[in-house]
């Protein structure tokens, strides 16, 4: 499963707003939305922020 899909699934499963998750991982809402819709290339910075967030929530 891709990181993008993993984050999307987490957001849906927990009934979270994307803006809330964006704040939690210190990203702008538009940047997170672009990532989730495949419009933002994965950088190490984005991947690390998302991976750390998901790891903390497990």
Domain annotation covers residue 54: no
On whether residue 40 sits in a domain, the answer given is yes
In a domain, 26, yes or no: yes
Please indicate, yes or no, if residue 53 is contained in any of the structural domains: no
Look over the chain and give the mean of its residue pLDDT values, rounded to a whole number: 92
Helix axes 29-36, 3-13, angle to 10 degrees: 110
Residue 21 domain-assigned (yes or no): yes
Our count of domains for the chain comes to 1
Is 56 a domain residue?
Answer: no
The boundaries of the domain holding residue 20 are: 3-48
Q: Are 25 and 53 in contact (CB under 8 A)?
A: yes
Query: Is 37 part of any domain?
Result: yes
pLDDT digits (tens, 9 = 90+) for 13-29: 999 999 999 999 999 99
Residue 42, in any domain of the structure: yes
Residue 46 banded pLDDT, cuts 50, 70, 90 = confident
On the question of pLDDT at 56 being above 80, the answer is: yes
> How many angstroms separate the CA atoms of 55 and 41, rounded?
21
């Amino acid at each position: 499963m891709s990181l993008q899909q993993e984050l999307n699934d987490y957001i849906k499963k927990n009934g979270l707003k994307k803006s809330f998750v964006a704040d939690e991982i210190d990203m702008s809402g538009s940047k997170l939305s672009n990532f989730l819709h495949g419009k933002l290339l994965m950088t190490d910075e984005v991947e690390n922020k998302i991976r750390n967030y998901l790891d903390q929530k497990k």
